[in-house]
């Protein structure tokens, strides 16, 4: 796949930009902004990013081989591509369900995916990504941010990081192997082994991670051996 890359100085949201300004452009398109005034993550979460220091961008394309009822595999694929891109960092990189990228216990990247469906087909997909690259000071109330520079000890070329990510993602899409993507995603999961604290509507509990199902549900097993199945936002990690 060949992505056309558009660089812009500022926008409210690169996802929103692609849905409006990019809607008449054909093919695979990436828009990169030096600054987002209203960058957001999942739900009502906002995304802090210092101007010109990080990568805030969106990828627009049509995933022809993936059906609407399999769309969570797109989240898996971009998460796997990001872990490959960050694999040279000196600390372990993992995927915190459903698609936050962590280095150790710190968040380095967030992903927001918006699909336009047509029956059981995905007519268009927009993947918004906020990747902390060279920012070293974070002033928001986000509990655990980090960046490539903080983890690696030096600044990184943002264009090189972007191209590396697009190469990994393009390779996954071109040589599409759904089961290989699912396996790679599950192997990279944060807290994949061991008992850890979680919280749901009934309070705190300890559990081990059993699986992330094909449709994206998280399955945990608590200390009493009970299996607990959650959709996004129904459970939180206690870090």
What domain range is 221 assigned to? 195-237
What is the dihedral angle through the alpha carbons of 135, 140, 141, 143, rounded to the nearest 10 degrees? -10
Query: Do 149 and 216 share a domain, yes or no?
Result: no
| Residues 19-66: tens digit of each pLDDT | 988 766 667 999 999 998 876 554 445 567 788 899 999 999 999 889
Query: Do 108 and 213 share a domain, yes or no?
Result: no
Check residues 25 and 68 and name the one with the higher pLDDT.
68
Is 199's pLDDT higher than 50? yes
Query: Do 10 and 117 share a domain, yes or no?
Result: yes
| Residues 209-235: tens digit of each pLDDT | 999 999 999 999 999 999 999 999 999
The sheet with strand 236-237 has its strands ordered as 227-230, 218-222, 203-212, 195-200, 236-237
CATH number, domain containing residue 51: 3.30.930.10
pLDDT for 3 equals 92
Query: Do 130 and 57 share a domain, yes or no?
Result: yes
Report d(CA 4, CA 60) in Å as an integer. 10
Q: How many domains does the chain have?
A: 2
CATH number, domain containing residue 222: 2.30.30
The structure's pTM equals: 0.93
Query: Do 183 and 200 share a domain, yes or no?
Result: no
Task: Pick the last residue of a domain from 146, 163, 187.
Answer: 187
Task: Pick the last residue of a domain from 187, 208, 227.
Answer: 187
Query: Do 183 and 203 share a domain, yes or no?
Result: no
Task: Pick the last residue of a domain from 165, 187, 209.
Answer: 187
């Amino acid at each position: 796949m060949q992505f056309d890359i558009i660089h812009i100085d500022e926008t409210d949201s690169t996802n929103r930009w692609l849905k409006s300004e990019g809607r008449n452009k054909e093919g695979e398109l990436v828009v990169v902004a030096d600054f987002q005034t209203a960058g957001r993550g999942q739900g009502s979460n906002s995304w802090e990013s210092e101007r010109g220091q990080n990568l805030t961008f969106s990828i627009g394309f049509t995933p022809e081989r993936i059906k609407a009822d399999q769309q969570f595999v797109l989240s898996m694929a971009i998460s796997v591509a990001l872990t490959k891109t960050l694999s040279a960092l000196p600390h372990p990189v993992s995927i915190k369900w459903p698609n936050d990228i962590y280095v150790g216990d710190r968040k380095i990247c967030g992903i927001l995916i918006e699909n336009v469906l047509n029956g059981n087909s995905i007519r268009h997909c927009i993947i918004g990504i906020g990747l902390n690259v060279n920012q070293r000071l974070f002033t928001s109330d986000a509990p655990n941010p980090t960046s490539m520079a903080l983890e690696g000890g030096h600044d990184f070329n943002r264009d090189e990081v972007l191209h590396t990510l697009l190469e990994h993602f393009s390779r996954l899409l071109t040589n599409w192997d759904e089961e290989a993507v699912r396996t790679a995603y599950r192997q990279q999961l944060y807290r994949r082994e061991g008992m850890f604290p979680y919280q749901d509507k009934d309070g705190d509990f300890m559990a081990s991670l059993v699986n992330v199902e094909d449709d994206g549900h998280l399955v945990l097993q608590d200390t009493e051996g009970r299996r607990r199945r959650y959709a996004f936002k129904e459970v939180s990690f206690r870090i």
